[in-house]
Amino acid sequence: MATYKKAYIAGGCFWGMEDLFRTRPGVVDTEVGYQGGQNDNPTYKNHPGHAEGIEITYNPNQTSFEELLDYFFRIHNPTTVDRQGNDRGSSYRSAIFYQNEEEKQIAEDMIAVVDASGKWEGKVVTTLEPWSTFWKAEDYHQDYLVKNPNGYTCHFLRFEEPFVNNGE
């Protein structure tokens, strides 16, 4: 039996991120929620400082943290501060919530690779934030785009080719 790992990222409205990650090889579950803010038990109407993020449960025998981040940097614009599509504010920041120094180093290395690629016009502004409690969002936000196929999203695959050669 595989031992699963979790990754925590934010890149704008959590609906689109979850919808794209749910079908990735090695991803066994996704949850949307709030992370990195100022209050306990945040809600959609009260989540000061929290990013709209996702918790990704994955099988490390099938994908890696690096591969997840590579995809993350291809499905949202990591060069806009506190903004994705029509959504603006710190809730929509690009962030990686690292759980240990190894994840932090992988994230720093990936940012350097993405910046060096020249694929984005600007430099990556994704914040690296130490892991903090992930608060699951309300049920109506979970699997939102499955329940509402024509719902709003600003996420899509911008670059087919991975930033690093990781077996895709």
Catalytic (active-site) positions: 13
Residues 6+ apart with CB under 8 A from 45: none
Is residue 42 a contact partner of residue 99, using CB atoms and an 8 Å limit?
no
**Structure tokens belonging to residue 30:** 């996704």
Choose among 71, 80, 66: nearest CA to 22: 71
Distance (Å, whole) CA 50 – CA 45: 11
CB 18 within 8 A of CB 148: no
Which residue in the block uniquely carries the two structure tokens 């719902």? 151
How is 34-102 classified by DSSP, letter by letter?
Answer: EESSSSSS-BTTB-TT-EEEEEEEE-TTT--HHHHHHHHHHHS-TTSTTEETTEESGGG-EEEEESSHH
